[in-house]
Amino acid sequence: MTPTGINPTLTAQATLIYGATGTFKTTQVGYFSEYVASVTSGLITRVVSAESAGVEPLSPYIEIGAIEVLWLSRDMHPRSALRKIIRGEWPRMKNGIPERNAQGGLIWETNLPTNIGGYAFEGLTSFADLVGQDLKAKFASGQSVTGDKKEGSGMAGAGYTEEGETFGSGSQSQVGGTQDLIMELLRESPKNLYAKSQGRIVHVLFTAHESKGTDDLTGAATYGPGTIGKAITGKLFKECGTALHLETELSQGAATPNAQAPNAAAKPTTTGYRVWAYYRKHPDSENPMVKWEAKPRIPAIQEAHEMLEKRFPGGKFELTFTQTLADYLRFQDTTHDLAMKTLAERRAKLMAEINQNRGIQATPQPDLKMAAQTQAAPQVPTAAPKPVPGPQAPVAPTTTGTTKQ
């Protein structure tokens, strides 16, 4: 299914890319806006970021109007701000700066403009850090931010309200509350934004740093996107159709001899590094025992997976100036369409066979062999059956003597 087609899932596509610092994650956000424009006839991308230090790769896109950005900070109450953004709200802007009310809070616009075609949440790890710092500061100042009952008060928790957003009561810790919000961001934003835009928002991108976690069921180590704590590292993949792991590889030049140690073995020189985007689970380049999670958004159709593997061998592709996230997403859309077409053809063939079988059963054909045998058999006349005698009526006695006078 292409982004411009009918979406039976009623949600925007969701892609997650994660990797260490220096793997061009922010650069790919800019390329992502090009992809969105190409599949939505020029709609722009909204970017929410907590990493203002990485603004440089996005500056050209902001200047030409391809990206509308919100730099999230702690004084914006990030927990409630993200909740509003998930619903499609956006701060009122003036010259690229959010406007504030008399109390210092942000002024939120509830209407979603018709020129928005995609969203990018740049830095799940930074969002988690920002929300965690905000909650920590509130805890330190004595504020209740979980809605739990106060110790010794005898009163039940009523939930915590901030900037008009109510967060459920319960024994949420600083870590637990942050993890819940990150999961809500991944799970709800593609559905909510797609619905509020009436299908115009076709894709949501998330980026994150890499991290080590623990599987809930097996307790085994898992490696994936980093947020806060380890409990949700493996869960994030379930909320995304596409997950790419970015990894660097050192580029080595020709070996050069060591002038100070002529007898020593020559060592190759390092000329730079390459960045690979893996779309399949793979071992770490330095520690093969470590497996990094990744997956493409393609149905389980052999022809489609063969097509993707032929275009990007080895379950990966290199990120360069001429091959970007946008190129991969476009080709993945094409491959997805091939899979759906193949699946539709298989179903059509199956239904034709079923309908044919139903037609044979509904109108049974005569057995011509049996009919021929019946016609060829000689006709042997049979005698009429003899009547079966029934019970005889009693016979009256015959009188031969005289009649009494």
Locate 399 and state its tokens.
């009188």
Those residues whose C-beta lies under 8 Å from the C-beta of residue 331, and which sit 6 or more positions away, are 308, 311, 312
pLDDT at residue number 403: 44
Query: How many CA within 13 A on the CB side of residue 319?
Result: 29
Largest CA distance in the chain: 175
Q: pLDDT tens-digit profile of 313-361?
A: 999 999 999 999 999 999 999 998 888 888 888 899 999 989 888 875 5
Total Cβ atoms within 10 A of residue 391: 5
CA 190, CA 201: separation in Å to the nearest integer?
8
Total Cβ atoms within 10 A of residue 12: 27
pLDDT at residue number 383: 56
pLDDT at residue number 216: 56
What is the H or E stretch that residue 35 is in? helix 25-39
What is the H or E stretch that residue 292 is in? strand 291-292
Q: Are 199 and 147 in contact (CB under 8 A)?
A: no
pLDDT at residue number 268: 55
pLDDT at residue number 3: 45
pLDDT at residue number 19: 93
CA 342, CA 344: separation in Å to the nearest integer?
5
DSSP strand E in 123-209: where?
A: 160-162, 165-167, 203-208
Question: Would you kindly state where each structural domain of the chain is located, as residue ranges?
Answer: 13-145+172-253+270-354
pLDDT at residue number 332: 93
Phi-psi region of 244 (alpha: psi -120 to 50; beta: other; left: phi over 0): beta
Q: pLDDT tens-digit profile of 265-305?
A: 655 555 578 999 999 999 887 778 888 989 999 888 888 89
User: Which residues does the chain have with pLDDT short of 50?
Assistant: 1-6, 149-158, 169-172, 362-363, 368, 372, 375, 377, 399-405
